Amino acid sequence: IKGDQISASIAAASILAKTYRDRLMSELDKIYPGYGFAKHAGYGTRAHFDALKTYGACAIHRKSFRGVIQE
């Protein structure tokens, strides 16, 4: 918990992971248009849940995730 505040290497890894995820989600947005992955990066925003209601889960959604099951 709060490791990025204690360790520079943890903070750097966190930044790299977020940058990678943002780029990946932008690419997945092109493959799965309509879900808004480039904008919300797959986080549980209202827009993401609205897209799930409209389109259902796509191949990259974790089917075991409570938010996907409920929508």
pLDDT tens, position by position, 10-22: 999 999 999 999 9
Rounded to two decimals, the pTM is 0.76
Sorting pLDDT into bands at 50, 70 and 90, what band is 44?
confident
DSSP-derived letter for residue 43 is -
Mean pLDDT (the chain) is 90
What values do phi and psi take at 50, rounded to 5?
-65, -40
Pull the structure tokens for residue 13.
């890894």
pLDDT of 71 over the 60 cut: no
